[in-house]
Chain A
Amino acid sequence: MRLQLVTTHDPQPDYLDLPLLQPLAEWTHSGLVEFPIGVHRHVVRFVESEHGLFALKELPGRLADREFALLRHLAEENLPVVEVLGVISERDSDLDDILITRHLEFSLPFRFLFTRSGISSLRESLVDSIAVLLAQLHLAGFFWGDCSLSNTLFRRDAGALAAWVVDTETGELHDQLTPGQRELDLDIAQMNIFGGLLDLEASGRLPPDIDPVEVVESLTRRYGQLWEELTAEQSVEVAQRHLIDARLARLNELGFDTAEVSITTGGSGPQIQFRPAVVEVGHHVRELERLTGLRMLENQARRMLNDIRSYGAWLAKRDGRDQPEAVVAYRWLNDIFEPAIETIPQELSDRRSPGELFHEILLHRDALQSKLQADVSVQAASADYALESLPSSMRERSLIEGD
């Protein structure tokens, strides 16, 4: 038997304690978490240990090696994929390999989004999150080939959703995708998502106000708009050069960074053609990390950066002078963010990720201020939120899709 494991900061379970010489479907190990999962071609089971929750997928060695390499590559490219931890091979001549990934903490399987009360508002951003994910992957030259609701996990991102790739069995890496490859990938996504929603409908769990046809048509629209914004060549008058800045600002607002802008001027006319070279999503994530060391999701980071700016304005007014951005961020971290998070009791820490907790605390503060018609500190809002709102929330740290 051979274990090929990635060295990570976070510990992994002792795999040798698992019944590796038996088919995964027949395991009866005490650490197994028994949940039927969505539509998958291979046996997938979850193992819980003191180090967290791990997904194990049994598949032929060639496919396991390929998926292992693809997931690692995509992670190195800072794309949102589950963390791959290793491959167990040479178990027995009749047994396939096992690919190990870490369960994505605080992720929401799609069925929860459609079947649990209180999160219906998140459904609206589901399509957006998939469109952004596909655009990110396509920019990186990755043809997914099997985008589906079952192959995607979602995390709350400041009231919206961010999507993660779970399964890359059918994926292909290219230097650049052709329009035909992108179109086919989108076509497959449409078909798979449509099928997933119809299946939910057949099980009687699709809310009646959701029209599967409308959902997938909106995915195509949204992806098309986003791709256009990210890549289209634009022609502007020389006197309207500010439109270039506006386009770049819109890209940043969408979370994308641009490495360079290609500008060409016509030989005879006053027109400028330009095309941004979008390199990476995570504009606000990187900015927040640079300032505070916090690593959050894109919308959460944007929200926190806004809060840092508000805090800076308040400090400047109080002290009568502007502070450098780094100083403001440092003080915000120590005076606002950390006290707010530390106010949340340990037993409630599995309800939301820290980034989402902070976002919801700010929402709670807004609601309190509106109700009381008075200023409320973030820490006071946090205490009230922990008392009044958070206890009734789902434990989302280790949700696994149940059927």
Chain B
Amino acid sequence: MATITLEKINKVYPNGFHAIHDLDLDIADTEFLVLVGPSGCGKSTALRMVAGLEEITNGEMRIGDRIVNEVEPKDRDIAMVFQNYALYPHMSVYDNIGFALKLAKTPKDETDRRIREAARILELDEQLDRKPAQLSGGQRQRVAMGRAIVRQPAAFLMDEPLSNLDAKLRVQMRAEIASLQRELGVTTVYVTHDQVEAMTMGDRVAVLKDGFLQQVDTPQNLYDRPQNVFVAAFIGSPSMNLFEGTLTLDSGGQGGSLTLGSQAISIPSEVLAARPALAAYDGKSLIYGIRPEDMEDASLDTRPDDQCIHGEVSLVEALGAEILVHFGVDAAPVDSGDPDAVVELGDTAVVVGRFNPRSRIRLRDSAKVAVHAERLSFFDSSTRLAIWD
């Protein structure tokens, strides 16, 4: 078991490309930390530096108490878990799990103990004498995971290990890996581009963009209190709706309003009381965000008219337990900085609301939508940092 510490880690390639900038991360013993971000954010590079596959330009990397900057990958006591799930058809489950220990010349009784322990954890005790062809798809995946477990490394490193699997198996394996990691209690660093995977698996999630750490926090805190526009938009599906508008405070500062194109949203006094820093933005432009679930079909909500907005419905996605309603408003969309996101330019922003399935809103309706203004997120327009205080 081990902690992993990255202190002011930088990676600059020979061609001058600065892939990682002053990355600081403290990964606790037994923690499951997910590195997530869009293409080119540096998440795989960071993982590979932990593994020893990329040289560290400067900064200090520690596994446990040991500085490992110059330590060979094989001497770091870590296991890279790969996408390779090939099983050997003529070998039993027992041998498929344990054959690597034979190559490492591990004593037979120790090998046997580790294989049986891994099989117990993976609930494969009854299958040890079987051949891969006699197993279900999920059991085969677990056999492959057993190979990594029996090595008993201080940490697992996983670089998009589920990306080759079909959607159904990916969801199943996501749960299996997370549950297994918790049972084993082995420090794990996991890379993915999929924020849903990150949020559902990690104890904490580190969000990277352009080689800079944006925020590292628990999944819920990332969602509830994003530190900047990028994290606000990247975490959550559908994304947070982002707008740029002008904040106007009432005389006396008891309330205020925000512009949304030609419309306005009333801001309750408790929002301003909770965030006194907003007072400095009176009469100024700022970026604000509304999560899809913080909106509702106004016909099913009791909010006053001044906390409602209007827009023409362009798409309705009925998902059973909820409906996603896409509607346009006459406000310019805000680019969150996610290179993988599709941002439509123009003067019309498409807003996505997650409504109660009892809503009767239809395509091309002029919808009246209630906004839970107390749940708004605010960001400085120039620094793009959150305004929480």
Residues in chain B near residue A146, CB distance under 8 A: 82, 84
A180 and B53 contact, CB distance less than 8 A: yes
Known: A169-B164, A180-B54. Is A198-B72 also a contact (CB below 8 A)?
no
Q: What is the 8 Å Cβ interface bit string for chain B, positions 81-120, against chain A (1 contact, 0 not)?
A: 0111111111110010001101101000000000000000
Which residues of chain A have C-beta atoms less than 8 A from B13's C-beta? 175
* B58-77 near A? 1/0 per residue, CB < 8 Å: 00000000000000111000
Contact for A181 among B53, B82, B105, CB less than 8 A: B53
Whether A184 and B99, one on each chain, are in contact in the complex, defined by CB atoms closer than 8 angstroms, is no
Give the complex CA separation of A190 and B74 in angstroms: 13
**Is B14 on the interface with A (CB-CB < 8 A)?**
yes
Residues A184 and B53 in contact, CB atoms below 8 Å apart: yes
Docked CA distance A181–B159 (Å): 14
Contact B86 A198 (CB under 8 A): no
Partner of B51, one of A179, A180, A194, A213: A180
Partner of B73, one of A145, A184, A196, A199: A184
> Which residues on the A side are within 8 Å of B105 (C-beta)?
213
Closest approach, in angstroms, between the C-beta of B99 and any C-beta of chain A?
5
Q: Is the C-beta of A63 less than 8 angstroms from some C-beta in chain B?
A: yes
Interface size on A, residues (CB 8 A): 35
* Number of interchain pairs (Cβ within 8 Å): 88
Cβ 8 A contact of A41, one of B54, B89, B90, B164? B164
Q: Verify if A183 is at the interface (C-beta below 8 Å from B).
A: yes
Which of chain B's residues have a CB closer than 8 A to the CB of A175? 13-15
Alpha-carbon distance A226/B364, docked complex (angstroms): 69
By a CB distance below 8 angstroms, the chain B residues around A194 are 99-100, 102-103
Q: Which residues of A contact B53 (CB under 8 A)?
A: 178, 180-181, 184
Taking the nearest CB of chain B, how far is it from the CB of A262, in angstroms? 16
Nearest CB on A from B96, distance (A) = 8
| Cα(A35)–Cα(B89), bound, Å | 15
- Known A148-B86, A195-B88, A198-B99: A184·B164 in contact at CB below 8 Å: no
CB distance from B14 to the nearest CB of A (A): 7
Q: How extensive is the interface on chain B, given as a class?
A: 20 to 34
Query: A172 vs B192: C-alpha distance in the bound complex, in angstroms?
Result: 17
In the complex, chain A residues whose CB is within 8 Å of the CB of B90: 199-200, 202-203
Let me know if A150 is at the binding interface, CB within 8 A: yes
CB proximity of A170 to chain B, nearest CB, Å: 6
Report B268 CB to chain A, min CB distance, Å.
46
> B52 interface residue, CB < 8 Å from A?
yes
The answer to the question of A60 belonging to the interface, with a C-beta cut-off of 8 Å to chain B, is yes
Asked whether, in the complex, the Cβ of B88 is within 8 Å of the Cβ of A196, the reply is yes
- Do A213 and B103 touch (CB < 8 A)? yes
User: Which residue of chain B has the shortest Cβ distance to A403 in the bound complex?
Assistant: B89
Contacts of B99 in A (CB 8 A): 194-195, 198
Answer yes or no: A132 CB below 8 A from chain B CBs.
Answer: no
Complex Cα distance, B88 from A66, in Å, reads: 26
A202 is contacted by which of B52, B91, B103, B164 (Cβ under 8 Å)?
B91
Cβ contacts A to B, 14 pairs, < 8 Å: A39-B86, A39-B87, A41-B86, A170-B84, A180-B53, A184-B80, A195-B86, A195-B88, A195-B99, A196-B88, A198-B102, A202-B92, A216-B103, A403-B89
B→A interface (CB under 8 Å): 13-15, 48, 51-55, 72-74, 80, 82-92, 95, 99-100, 102-103, 105, 164, 166
Q: Which 7 A-B pairs have the closest CB atoms?
A: A199-B88, A202-B90, A203-B90, A180-B53, A180-B52, A39-B86, A180-B73
A-side residues, CB < 8 A to B, are 39-41, 60, 63, 145-146, 148, 150, 169-170, 175-176, 178-181, 183-184, 187-188, 190-192, 194-196, 198-200, 202-203, 213, 216, 403
